[in-house]
Structure 1
Amino acid sequence: MVNLNDWLMLLAVLLSPVIAVQVTRYLDDKKEGRERQLWIFKTLMATRASSLSPHHVEALNRIDLEFKSQTKKEKDVIEAWKAYLDLLGNDRMAADQWNIRRVDLLVELLQKMAIVLDYSFDKTTIKNSAYYPRGFGALEEEQGAIRRGVKELLDGQRHLPMYVINFPPPDLPGISQRNDG
């Protein structure tokens, strides 16, 4: 005679591998999601002084993909990202005010991410502990000036001055004397 305990034991034996696989997949998915969030956070922290870095922009654009609004902490990240993104698209603000506000909103975003990912960074640390050599800033400024100058030249807004210093001697083979007079 098969009793209830036997049925439960048989059911447990049959279902336990399926349950184990499902639990393992769930835990792996959570771990991979956290790894992707960590990549975003670490990339933004590493590039916070260089907001034009392609890695910085890529990390920003992945926030919506990897931070869900399932918890209060992640909702805070999404809200901070929306505020930052809104400012990034604002071209009506004076440049100096815009940049100050941009830094403040980026710091806010990174601090909210730090909370989700269990890092203990305060806003002051995030804002003041980035290293960006002055030479990088000078290099970016020079490259920008060169690009603008070449663009103006190609657009016909700027002219390239030319000075002839040495005229070729008139008796060189292949050079004809032209006399229009």
Structure 2
Amino acid sequence: MTNEQILWMVLSSILSGLLGVFISTYYYRRHEDRKYKLSTLQKFVGNRFNLKSEIFTQSLNEIVIVFGDCKNVKLALSKFHESLGGGKEQDALVSLFKSMCEELNISNSEFNDSFFLNPFNTVTKAEQSLERCHEIFKSLMATRASVTSPEHVRALNMISIEFPKESYPFVLEAWKVYFDHLNSYPENNAESQPEWKKDMGVYLCQLLKYMGDALGYNFDVVDINKGIYAPKAHAIVELELQQFRKGVIDFLHGDSTVKMEITNMPPSN
């Protein structure tokens, strides 16, 4: 075998190896690209029953990246974005769905537009409302030792919306009593404040008891009032923050002074 033949065999082996790597890499990238596109389409279609959900919104926002090499999909996405608030969102959304299916060679001719616009949703509105009521109750129970926390206040403000009087009369009545008490804080009567705070705990326990009964929880007032874990460190931090805020406000209003002490006087000339 001549040197030329040996060289040719070596070059052929190298070229065939490089070609194999190129082909493998090409098809692997195509496979991964299609996988990402399918994942986005699945989230897009699977969560269309709630167009305001976090997952559906995420799928919309990632289309521009995942389908970045698809002119028709990007055009449909742009038209959908332009249609928002114009009354033609549904048509633009269906067009976006179809363009994504066409890119992935997924047939959708068997279904009309109403199939996409009227998705399956086996959860009834009553079940969704009941689930929200449970979440509100859980939030109040979890934060009943920290009644000034944003989570607790938000849950309280949701009661009048999610617990209609027709379905939860005792809850609404207890909420009104508690709400009236919260708005009657004796700010200018320091002697009445401890009693007011004690009554606040009683009214909150009554409210939680009625909510628990209505939602099928077996709690009594003792469980609600006593079964609380509140670390002392949290109470200390909260007290210190209140004292700090009060001190700053009093200083800014001129109601308090700042103590200063000179420890080192410069020498006189």
For normalisation by structure 1, the TM-score amounts to 0.74
The runs of 5 or more residues in structure 2 that have no matched partner are 1-117
Counterpart of 2:185? Answer: 91
Counterpart of 1:78? Answer: 172
Pairing 1:90-109 to 2, within 5 Å after superposition:
90-92=184-186, 94-109=192-207
Cα offsets for 1:113-154 (capped at 9, x unmatched): 111111111111111101111221121111111111111111
**CA offset at residue 169 of structure 1?**
6.0
Counterpart of 2:137? Answer: 41
Q: Which has the larger radius of gyration?
A: 2
The answer to whether structure 1 residue 147 and structure 2 residue 241 are counterparts is no
| Structure 1 residue ranges, 4+ long, deviating more than 6 angstroms after superposition | none
For normalisation by structure 2, the TM-score amounts to 0.51
CA distance in 2, matches of 1:49, 1:91: 18
Could you tell which deviates more after superposition, 77-86 or 153-162? 153-162
Q: What is the identity percentage for the equivalent residue pairs of Structure 1 and Structure 2?
A: 36
The runs of 5 or more residues in structure 1 that have no matched partner are 1-20, 171-176
Counterpart of 1:166? Answer: 264
CA RMSD of aligned residues (A): 2.2
Q: Count how many residue pairs are aligned between Structure 1 and Structure 2.
A: 148
- Structure 1 residue matching 2:235: 3-state secondary structure: helix
The answer to whether structure 1 residue 125 and structure 2 residue 223 are counterparts is yes
CA distance in 2, matches of 1:91, 1:114: 27
Corresponding letter in the other structure for 1:146: F
